[in-house]
Chain A
Amino acid sequence: MIEKPHQALLPPGMVDLLPPEAEFEARTTERLIAAFRRNGYELIKPPLVEFEENLVTGSGAATAAQTFRLMDPDSQRMLAIRADMTLQISRIASSRLSDLPRPLRLSYAGQVLRIKSSNLRPQRQFGQVGAELIGSGAPAADVEIIIMTANSLKDLGITEISIDLGIPTLVNTICGDLGITDEVEKIALRTALNQKDAASISALNAKAASIFSVLLSAVGPVDKSLEMLKKIHLSPQAERELDHLKSVASELKNRAPEISLTVDPVEIRGYEYHSYLTFTIFSKGIRGELGRGGRYISTDSSSSDVGEMATGVTLFVDTLLNSLPNPLTTKRMFVPLGSNKEAIQKFMSEGWIAIAELVHNPNQPKEALRLGCTHILQDGELKKL
């Protein structure tokens, strides 16, 4: 059976955003950027496409499998379309903006493209809005990012925000300390920890079982978790990683008690390139993650510098939109030909949308209703239809 595809058919994972959703997306993005700006985060705009090695090496390895590539017929080099923007911000901070004083606060908003859609995200193209705080290793930097994000989400109307703190490198560090080097053993361990499978963990050798069982029982609400974490003693490196999480958690409890805070010291899912602290933002009633973020090393892949500590957040605009009621105003007024210009201006500045009459219509109220207006401008006054 050969059928000519319908012209409206788009490739899988691509959508046309229509009114009012398109405007709602633009406005939501704008409000987030504005919220970040008020906290000193300045907007930068990296390009959609870069040379492949910038986007898929180093910390880009985490999204490499999700990155589209194309060959540039002009430069004859492989290009990549961004699947995530954090890398680009990190590149800019460590190259073009390397002379700006630290800590450096940057924000960004843009579309990303991914090779595979997932159950929870059928779109392959979606918007990201984020903020990065570069050049500080202090727990206060993470606290600033998390509180700013929570407040911005609250302003958008998202309630019951829940933040899960994690340390994806901790498991690896402890494995090193315990001399667990066998890859197969490590994968089995990681799988059990990711599944929260306590039985498999207690079946490990005694030393490993005792440490990982405590870590696993520390998964959950912050108070209980911090209590459990007091019970274990780790190597200095592992302690440092854990201490960072503990200070962020206690600081958040003090400064933002309204956020429901959970800790998961063993979660690795999707955080392979982060170090020390990571966090994932959920909201009760919304499926999937609203955003995620955490610490990483910001480097310029072309230099041999060790890089600088950075932390940041990325919000997923598609998930945010799905979770918000569309608050767009329906204040639409019909403006008959020859209406008073000052009156039109006055109402527009109050937020009214003006739909102008192009050709005189004998039945103006009917025409106004047909065009979706709620009011009509008559003698400098608004009349409800």
Chain B
Amino acid sequence: MLANDKLIFALPKGRILRDVMSLVNKVGIEPEAAFEDGDDRRLRFATNDPNIDIIRVRSIDMGTILSFGAAHFGIAGADVLTELDSREIYAPLDLKVGFCRMVVAEPVDLASQDNPTRWSQIRVATKYPQITRRHFASRGVQAECIKLHGAIEIAPSLGLCRRIVDLVSTGETLRANGLVEVEQISVITSRLAINRTAMKTRPVEMTAWIDRFREAVDDAYS
């Protein structure tokens, strides 16, 4: 796919998309009207720039799409990029949107008597088994991960596990499910991400895009 001279820019569906569209417009990429149309079933769209097409993919697939070079560049959450930890992706720019935090949480009554320094093995429900394993391994704890794709917060009350690792923004979902944050793993924002081969074989174009996005971000925060 990289053979195509047209650049493919990947955008994630959902929450991040709303946050990043103003940046995307600011760097001068305007997708065709169908992109905004919720009923349109297409996944690939033309833009005002004849050299750029936009594809819309699920946020969690963004890392895979970029590491294969199916898209040359795109916007992805740091959560997805860190989970995949691919050598084939560069993440040169923090776009400073899509703020949230990756945390460890457990039921309120467990937290009151729990001593995390004594853990040797714990069972955790999460969408991010790699991040979870790496995080706990680095402090000497073996994490047995139960991979779920959603509704993580309900897992402890169903007896699947006692702890979860998930993204929180306001903490509302945790509270509603009787959970409390016990540890923060990292702060998550959206990144401009670039396929390594694209960066190495089309360095001038890719560097120009990084610069344009950097200016747009600086602009938004100045």
Interface 0/1 of B92-117, CB less than 8 Å to A: 11100000000000000000000000
B170 contacts A by Cβ under 8 Å: no
Assess the B93–A269 pair: CB atoms within 8 A.
Answer: no
Query: Which residue of A is nearest B92, CB measured?
Result: A196
Assess the A160–B201 pair: CB atoms within 8 A.
Answer: yes
CA distance A287 to B65 in the complex (A): 12
CA distance A162 to B196 in the complex (A): 12
Residues of A within 8 A of B86 (CB): 119
Assess the A119–B2 pair: CB atoms within 8 A.
Answer: no
Query: Which residue of B is nearest A288, CB measured?
Result: B197
* Chain A contacts with B in 200-229, Cβ cutoff 8 A: 220-221
CA distance A119 to B196 in the complex (A): 14
Report if A284-B203 is in contact (Cβ < 8 Å); known contacts: A119-B86, A199-B94. no
Interface 0/1 of A271-296, CB less than 8 Å to B: 00000000010111111100000000
Number of residues of chain B lying within 8 A (CB) of chain A: 25
B64 contacts A by Cβ under 8 Å: yes
Assess the B69–A164 pair: CB atoms within 8 A.
Answer: no
CA distance A280 to B197 in the complex (A): 10
Assess the B93–A199 pair: CB atoms within 8 A.
Answer: yes
Assess the A280–B200 pair: CB atoms within 8 A.
Answer: yes
* Chain A contacts with B in 40-87, Cβ cutoff 8 A: none
Residues of B within 8 A of A220 (CB): 203-204, 207
CA distance A197 to B194 in the complex (A): 12
CA distance A197 to B88 in the complex (A): 15
Interface of B is mostly: mixed
Assess the B203–A221 pair: CB atoms within 8 A.
Answer: yes
A306 contacts B by Cβ under 8 Å: no
B91 contacts A by Cβ under 8 Å: yes
**Chain B nearest CB, measured from A171 CB (Å):** 16
* A284 interface neighbour in B88, B91, B202, B204, Cβ under 8 Å: B202
* Chain A contacts with B in 280-332, Cβ cutoff 8 A: 280, 282-288
CA distance A116 to B76 in the complex (A): 26
Query: Which residue of A is nearest B64, CB measured?
Result: A119
Query: Which residue of A is nearest B96, CB measured?
Result: A199
Residues of B within 8 A of A194 (CB): 90
Report if A287-B91 is in contact (Cβ < 8 Å); known contacts: A119-B86, A120-B67, A120-B68. no
CA distance A286 to B64 in the complex (A): 16
A260 contacts B by Cβ under 8 Å: yes
B87 contacts A by Cβ under 8 Å: yes
B3 contacts A by Cβ under 8 Å: yes
Assess the B93–A285 pair: CB atoms within 8 A.
Answer: no
Assess the B2–A287 pair: CB atoms within 8 A.
Answer: yes
**Chain B nearest CB, measured from A228 CB (Å):** 12
Residues of A within 8 A of B (CB): 119-120, 160, 162, 164, 194-199, 220-221, 260, 262, 264, 269-270, 280, 282-288
- Further pairs besides A196-B199, A197-B92, A287-B197: 19, Cβ < 8 Å: A119-B68, A120-B68, A120-B88, A195-B90, A195-B91, A196-B90, A196-B194, A199-B93, A220-B203, A262-B200, A262-B203, A270-B87, A280-B200, A284-B201, A284-B202, A285-B201, A286-B2, A287-B1, A288-B88
Residues of B within 8 A of A (CB): 1-3, 64, 67-69, 86-88, 90-94, 194, 197, 199-204, 207, 214
Q: List 30 A-B contacts (CB under 8 A).
A: A119-B64, A162-B200, A195-B91, A195-B92, A196-B91, A196-B194, A197-B92, A197-B94, A198-B92, A198-B93, A199-B93, A220-B203, A220-B204, A220-B207, A260-B201, A262-B200, A280-B200, A282-B200, A282-B201, A283-B201, A284-B202, A285-B3, A285-B201, A286-B3, A286-B197, A287-B2, A287-B68, A287-B69, A288-B88, A288-B197
